[in-house]
């Protein structure tokens, strides 16, 4: 019996590749090049499965050029690199990697909030430049975290993780805005109060964005929303580039219309808007919110399990378009 063929689009853990090799003929990308459209199509020729990351765009044109493809398994919870509608129309299964990264990503959201509010990187740069030569009463005085108001936009699993950390660990008043309201039990668990987006922006001391990217969530935070925020407030984005208008944010930070921001994701990443690199009051990290070895391993294994589950046993674990598997 011939074994299904798959492409692992980027370098991943050797142990995960070994697991995949037990079931499939596997083409890998050991040099870890980011594959452009033409190269991705070339390597996917004759493959039934693709192990993808956020860097591979799977859309109608690619699918039409890869008629053998039956499943794309994303090693990410976010899947804005997938055109799920086009995949469903062509009978291609889409899977993502939820749950395994929830707590790790919420930890990082909190790390970025703390670093932003307490000016951790800005003050470290000052020290490294050799500028620290005396104490002064307001040196790098930041914003209070404990007891302050935490506003969360996007109250899915990761948003709830951030809320619990804030409410239970730091005694914060948590308010949230989401497309749909949480159940009373979940609201109680997160000690979170549902408010309008406008009220959240006006009253939060720290705003954390954890909303999935889509056409509707594009520029959820732009100049108008930044103008509603307190001049002392901070903004953290661990969601996706494009949720924030980075140019408008850089301007607001430069003019101190908000106090500071912490960004793990950027419009057009890995490029970063040059104006953001110029302002001191922003903490910048290279999309690492899920990056612990244990969590990245769990994400890779879940993507692999989806490929094995579907192509070998007909049962994917975390399908985005389950109707395709049922056909």
List the interface residues with ligand 8YV, window 224-263 (CB under 6 A): none
Does position 54 interact with ligand 8YV (CB under 6 A)? The reply is yes
For the question of residue 146 being annotated catalytic, the response is: no
Alpha helices (H) in 69-196, listed in sequence order: 84-89, 102-117, 120-128, 157-164, 170, 184-190
Q: Which of 48, 53, 116, 234 binds ligand 8YV (CB under 6 A)?
A: 53
Q: Which residues in the 82-101 window bind ligand 8YV by CB under 6 A?
A: 101
Residue with CB nearest ligand 8YV? 78
Give the binding range for ligand 8YV (CB under 6 A) out of 26-34, 41-49, 73-81, 195-203: 73-81
Query: Which residue out of 164, 240, 273, 296 is catalytically annotated?
Result: 240
Interface region with ligand 8YV, contact rule CB under 6 A, candidates 72-80, 125-133, 196-204, 221-229: 72-80
**In the annotation, is 287 catalytic?**
yes
What DSSP string describes 259-285?
Answer: SEEEES--TTTTS--HHHHH-SSEEE-
Q: Are 247 and 126 in contact (CB under 8 A)?
A: no
Which position among 76, 106, 200, 201 is part of the footprint of ligand 8YV (CB under 6 A)?
A: 76
Query: Per CB under 6 A, does 290 bind ligand 8YV?
Result: yes
Binding residue (CB under 6 A) for ligand 8YV from 77, 84, 115, 152: 77
Tokens of 186: 């979940």
If you search the block for the tokens 């090049």, which residue do you land on? 33
- CB 87, min distance to ligand 8YV, A: 17
* 213 vs 173: CA distance, rounded Å: 26
CA distances in angstroms from 38 to 31, 74, 163, 297, listed in the order given: 17, 19, 43, 29
The backbone region for 320, taken as left when phi is positive above 0, alpha when psi lies in -120 to 50, beta otherwise, is alpha
Residues in contact with ligand 8YV by the rule CB under 6 A = 53-54, 75-78, 101, 290
Active-site annotation, residues = 240, 269, 287
């Amino acid at each position: 019996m011939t074994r299904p063929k798959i492409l692992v689009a980027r370098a991943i853990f050797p142990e995960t590749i070994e697991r995949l090799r037990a079931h499939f003929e596997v083409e890998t990308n050991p040099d870890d090049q980011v594959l452009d459209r033409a190269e991705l199509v070339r390597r996917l020729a004759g493959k039934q499965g693709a192990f993808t990351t956020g860097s591979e765009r799977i859309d109608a044109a690619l699918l039409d050029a890869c008629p053998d493809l039956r499943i794309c398994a994303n090693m990410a919870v976010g899947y804005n690199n997938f055109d799920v509608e086009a995949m469903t129309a062509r009978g291609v299964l889409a899977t993502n990697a939820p749950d395994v990264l929830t707590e790790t990503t919420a930890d990082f959201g909190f790390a970025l909030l703390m670093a932003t509010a307490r000016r951790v990187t800005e003050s470290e740069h000052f020290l490294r430049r050799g500028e620290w030569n005396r104490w002064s009463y307001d040196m790098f005085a930041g914003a209070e975290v404990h007891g302050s108001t935490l506003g969360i936009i996007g109250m899915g699993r990761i948003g709830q993780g951030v809320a619990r950390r804030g409410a239970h660990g730091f005694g914060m008043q948590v308010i949230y805005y989401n497309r749909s309201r949480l159940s009373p039990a979940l609201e109680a668990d997160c000690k979170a109060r549902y408010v309008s987006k406008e009220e959240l922006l006006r009253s939060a001391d720290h705003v954390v964005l954890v909303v999935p990217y889509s056409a509707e969530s594009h520029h959820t935070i732009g100049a108008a929303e930044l103008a509603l925020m307190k001049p002392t407030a901070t903004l953290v984005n661990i969601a996706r580039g494009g949720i924030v208008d980075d140019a408008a944010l850089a301007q607001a930070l430069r003019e101190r219309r908000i106090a500071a921001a912490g960004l793990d994701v950027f419009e057009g990443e890995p490029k970063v808007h040059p104006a953001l690199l110029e302002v001191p009051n922003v903490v910048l990290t290279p999309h690492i919110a899920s990056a612990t070895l244990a969590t990245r391993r769990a994400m890779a294994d879940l993507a692999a399990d989806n490929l094995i589950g579907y192509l070998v046993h007909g049962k994917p674990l975390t399908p985005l378009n389950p109707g395709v598997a049922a056909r």
